[in-house]
Structure 1
Amino acid sequence: SMAKGAGMLAPGMATMLCVVTTDAALDPAQADGALKEAVRTTLNRLDADGCMSTNDTVVLMASGASGVSPEPAAFQEALTAVCHDLAQQLLTDAEGAEHDVAITVVNATTEDAAEAVARAVARSNLFKAAIFGRDPNWGRIISAAGTVPEAVAPFDATLIDVYFNGVQVCRAAGVGEPRELVDLAPRAVDVVIDLHAGGATATVWTNDLTHDYVHENSAYSS
């Protein structure tokens, strides 16, 4: 498998070319369905900078050379794992990025609601700038979550909890554990937002907003 992409990484896979190959014997309909499901929770949850491009492609090619028809569930698991690995490599290689951020929304009413809230936070420049500054600013998270229409993601804003790397900095929309307990020096940042509205979960991956990202996207003329 191989993938190319560094900037304009947002839903729809953005400026990305991805090819996955296998020697398994697959029915075309099975292959198509498996790829769509694998991409749904991996490459299409990559939102490095909120900017979608015009030429994104992900292709699964099966030669059938092995003559082996894999069990559908096992193949789905393997294909999803490959797509997840490629998505994480693209995230790490994103333009100018210094942090890779996983935003997981838990206890939402639906998976779509969880994704909508996670993506709203991922696209908040204030949140992304705070990550670059190593500031566990939970206020910017709950303000971004609040921009999602209630019809899309209903939740009681007074119940929201926020965790940075396992530290609960926001409890019931108020102050939680001391912010000083959060170390944002490492590249990986794990943010969990608990909506207390249901049982659905979704994760969106993004990066911080850095000086290098601005430079790389402003220091040339097209």
Structure 2
Amino acid sequence: MSTTFSAELGDLPLDRELGVTASKGFRASGIAAGIKAAGAKDLALVVNDGPADVAAGVFTTNKVAAAPVRWSQQVLTQHRFRAVVLNSGCANACTGPEGFQDTHATAEDVAEQLGFGAIDIAVCSTGLIGERLPMDAVRGGIRTAVDSLDVDAAAGLAAATAVMTTDTVPKQVAYRDPAGWSIGGFAKGAGMCAPNMATMLAVITTDAVVDARLLDFALRAAVERTFHRLDVDGSTSTNDTVLLSASGASRINPGAGAFTGALTEVCADLVEQLQIDAEGATKRVRIEVAGADSEDCATRVARTVAEDHLVGTALFGSDPNWGRIAMAVGRSGARVDPDRLDISINGVLLCKNGAKAAERDSADLSGPEIEVYIDLHLGDDSTTVLTTDLSHAYVEENSAYSS
């Protein structure tokens, strides 16, 4: 799993004990509707009580987009929604016209319970592809979720928990600005991760006063620098969705720079939590590509190394096999001069000017964190990517996902 971050991120104080309800004007809930056979929480609801209801969204680039993605894209054409309902345990993807009707019915049921219109309700789903939603369970769950809505931290955590699939822990974070405005959010995702977000749902709230144009710009800028650089296995999900809702309840307009910066930090922290909880991961890997002739070149090299299965398995085995990294760099499609290529692992220069510079065992990869530094010596552009190893557990977990 990988993501590109800039060096200046990480300066704001963030709180992982808080989530979507950290922002004033929002209620949330997470309940067990019976969608999952195991009886775990599987339906979440987040409601914006205003006074504003400005919203923005970014969705999967997969052409086989799930029904809830297509529905929510229609909702977001008006740059607003009043609530979002999310289910786990069923992706409602590749389910034909009936699947879209199920999504529409879900929105209608939530709207009826809350006194809104169906077009005011965004819908997200995650889970197994190709199965219809169990609508009786969904309808009953919606009633329970509405009755359970609250503004406290426990309600936000319950919502974060209800969207989990192969995740082992809920993922949430919040930032509270000293001026009196906040951003909070949750995300889910642990596998089927590739550039353009990954198998990932995220809901982010803010009580800042932000207009629709800035909200959309800020979300796209933040997603591009964080979620859009996620990569573990080259697979892009049918259901990826990031939603941002602004209530304006703080009555404070923080300005474009402050808001976009804080939003990016919140997204970056959520992505870090996704990386830590990646399916089967035993190593957290940081890949820095420097000396590229463009940012696109650096990103292409970093992504190729991050998703290369031979590199991932070598890292799992604590094997500093720089040759596999060089191979991945060379097939990236980026401009590369093999006679200028340097590769360091955990601070040890193993490859200089495209040739062996030190014995492989001089780099110790036995710990849980690995740093890979690649210098192309072709320019001044660079990027940093977070990724993980590829383990036996990843294969085992994904080979039994539908069983």
1:71 lines up with 2:71 in the alignment: no
Post-superposition offset of 1:12:
1.4
Contact in 1 for aligned 2:349/2:358 (Cα 8 Å):
yes
**Structure 2 residue aligned with 1:164:** 345
Change (3 A) 1:221 1:25: closer
Post-superposition offset of 1:18:
0.6
Separation in 2 of the partners of 1:59 and 1:22? 11
Q: How does 1:14-163 map to 2 (within 5 A)?
A: 14-149=198-333, 153-163=334-344
Q: How many residues align?
A: 219
Separation in 2 of the partners of 1:137 and 1:29? 47
Cα deviation digits, residues 76-114 of structure 1 (max 9, x gap):
221111111110100111111111212221111111110
Separation in 2 of the partners of 1:148 and 1:49? 15
SS in 2 for 1:169: strand
Separation in 2 of the partners of 1:183 and 1:53? 35
Post-superposition offset of 1:221:
4.4
Separation in 2 of the partners of 1:142 and 1:116? 14
Contact in 2 for aligned 1:7/1:94 (Cα 8 Å):
yes
Contact in 2 for aligned 1:14/1:54 (Cα 8 Å):
no
Separation in 2 of the partners of 1:148 and 1:7? 22
TM-score by structure 2 length?
0.53
Separation in 1 of the partners of 2:255 and 2:363? 44
Q: How does 1:205-220 map to 2 (within 5 A)?
A: 205-220=386-401
Separation in 1 of the partners of 2:239 and 2:373? 32
**Structure 1 residue aligned with 2:44:** none
Separation in 2 of the partners of 1:118 and 1:47? 10
SS in 2 for 1:185: coil
- Percent identical residues: 53
Post-superposition offset of 1:211:
0.6
State the one-letter code of the partner of 1:97. Answer: A
User: Which stretch shows the higher mean deviation, 3-12 or 184-193?
Assistant: 184-193
State the one-letter code of the partner of 2:287. Answer: I
Separation in 2 of the partners of 1:165 and 1:50? 25
Separation in 1 of the partners of 2:323 and 2:362? 17
Post-superposition offset of 1:219:
2.9
Cα deviation digits, residues 3-38 of structure 1 (max 9, x gap):
000110111112110111111000111111111111
Contact in 1 for aligned 2:198/2:230 (Cα 8 Å):
no
Separation in 2 of the partners of 1:44 and 1:90? 13
Post-superposition offset of 1:218:
1.2
Post-superposition offset of 1:185:
2.0
Unpaired runs of 5+ residues, structure 1, are: none
**Structure 2 residue aligned with 1:197:** 378
State the one-letter code of the partner of 2:371. Answer: D
Higher relative contact order (CA 8 A, sep 6+): 1
Which of the pair has more CA radius of gyration?
2
Cα deviation digits, residues 52-95 of structure 1 (max 9, x gap):
11100111111111111112112222111111111010011111
Contact in 2 for aligned 1:107/1:200 (Cα 8 Å):
yes
Post-superposition offset of 1:220:
4.8
Contact in 2 for aligned 1:48/1:91 (Cα 8 Å):
no
Cα deviation digits, residues 123-171 of structure 1 (max 9, x gap):
211100100010111110111111122xxx2121110111112221111
Post-superposition offset of 1:195:
0.5
Change (3 A) 1:218 1:31: same
Contact in 2 for aligned 1:45/1:203 (Cα 8 Å):
no
